[in-house]
């Protein structure tokens, strides 16, 4: 299945009455239906004219896939459940009767339209299958005796499983997310809640910030937080903007209160001519105390 489109034959009763409506175990095999299949490629192409994007699967689509119990065999079934859905299998499922299954990330639940374990080997036997096993999506059916194809509705979701109320959609939202992306988000303080907690702690302990910033290790820590917050503001993400801006504002005020630049860097000393240095004295203890009180007063009004 390397070409973007291909014609396949469908035998058997598993997808009846949608396919092979005249097929029956008691009768000789009827003429098979022919199906037009669009093959799935991640980024592959036969030529620049035939670039085929990765498919986004939908409930109700009829797909062609390599069976998990025999990778050399191709089967045709309908997508019943997507990641995050809860499906109640037909009686006889290995996991136990009346035991719902949550479809995990990058998996789907497939069933035959026959809605019968004895007529269809599908997810009711082997459970959810990896989407990586899907190798095509059925676009149309050529029914024997007709001179034109019957095109499939990709949004069709009125499956037997849904009619029987065996499918609950989007029960577990996190199952639709890539675990790698979730891991990245969990390490991002602005999306995991860590930055919001840091901001709350700074605002609650404003009077302690000058003392903390005089400790070298803490100064470096808050300098890093300030840099991350400024970078987050630049991203323009509405969900994190208020926390990022709050951290930037709080830390810039705190940095200035201990004689640093707004970014937490040291203020470059001003070199004066010797005639201006004569008779000048350093900042008195009273001046330093007054500057600290001014900073704390500003915090109470913020």
* Domain boundaries, given as residue ranges, for the chain: 5-177, 188-301
Write down the residue that tokens 């709050």 correspond to. 246
| Residue 167, phi then psi, degrees to nearest 5 | -125, 125
| Residue 214, phi then psi, degrees to nearest 5 | -80, -15
CATH number of 5-177: 2.10.109.10
Please say whether the beta carbons of 32 and 22 come within 8 A.
Answer: no
Q: Retrieve residue 162's tokens.
A: 């849904």
Total residues found in the chain within this entry? 302
| Residue 256, phi then psi, degrees to nearest 5 | -65, -30
Residue 102 pLDDT: 92
Q: Which of 23, 220, 233 is nearest to 120 (CA)?
A: 23
Q: Retrieve residue 34's tokens.
A: 């022919």
- In this prediction the pTM is 0.54
Alpha helices of the chain — where are they, by DSSP H?
123-126, 160-163, 179-187, 189-192, 194-204, 209-213, 216-235, 241-257, 274-277, 285-301
Cα–Cα dist 139/17, whole Å: 17
From first to last of its 302 residues, the chain has per-residue pLDDT tens of: 556 778 887 776 677 666 655 544 443 445 557 788 888 754 333 334 444 445 678 888 889 999 988 888 889 999 999 999 999 998 888 866 668 899 998 899 999 888 778 888 899 989 999 998 998 888 888 766 666 777 777 555 667 778 888 888 888 876 777 666 666 566 788 887 889 989 999 999 888 898 888 877 888 889 889 999 999 999 999 989 999 999 999 999 999 888 888 888 776 665 555 555 555 555 566 776 777 777 777 766 65
Cα–Cα dist 9/109, whole Å: 23
Cα–Cα dist 249/247, whole Å: 5
Residue 268 pLDDT: 63
Question: Could you tell me how far CA 243 lies from the centroid of its own chain?
Answer: 23
Q: Retrieve residue 226's tokens.
A: 């300030």
Question: Around Cβ 302, how many Cβ atoms within 10 Å?
Answer: 10
């Amino acid at each position: 299945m390397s070409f973007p489109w291909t014609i396949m034959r469908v035998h058997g009763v598993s997808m009846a009455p949608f396919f092979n409506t005249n097929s029956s175990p008691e009768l000789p095999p009827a003429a098979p239906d022919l199906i037009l299949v669009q093959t799935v490629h991640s980024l592959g192409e036969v030529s620049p004219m035939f670039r085929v994007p990765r498919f986004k699967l939908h409930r109700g689509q009829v797909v062609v896939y390599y069976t998990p119990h025999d990778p050399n065999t191709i089967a045709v079934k309908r997508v019943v459940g997507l990641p995050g859905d809860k499906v109640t299998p037909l009686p006889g499922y290995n996991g136990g009767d009346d035991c719902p299954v949550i479809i995990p990330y990058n998996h789907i639940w497939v069933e035959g339209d026959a809605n019968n374990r004895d007529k269809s080997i599908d997810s009711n036997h082997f459970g959810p299958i990896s989407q990586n096993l899907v190798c095509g999506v059925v676009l149309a059916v050529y029914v024997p005796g007709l001179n034109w194809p019957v095109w499939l509705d990709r949004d069709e979701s009125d499956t037997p499983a849904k009619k029987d109320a065996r499918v609950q959609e989007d029960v577990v939202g996190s199952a639709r997310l890539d675990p790698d992306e979730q891991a990245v988000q969990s390490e991002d303080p602005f999306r995991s809640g860590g930055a919001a907690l840091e901001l709350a702690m700074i605002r609650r302990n404003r009077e302690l910030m000058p003392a903390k910033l005089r400790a070298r290790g803490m100064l470096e820590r808050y300098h890093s937080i300030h840099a991350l917050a400024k970078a987050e503001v630049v991203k323009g993400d509405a969900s994190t903007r208020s926390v990022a801006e709050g951290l930037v504002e709080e830390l810039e005020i705190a940095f200035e209160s201990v004689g640093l630049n707004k970014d937490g860097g040291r203020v470059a000393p001003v070199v004066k001519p010797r005639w201006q240095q004569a008779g000048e004295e350093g900042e008195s203890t009273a001046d330093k105390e007054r500057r600290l009180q001014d900073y704390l007063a500003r915090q109470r009004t913020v």
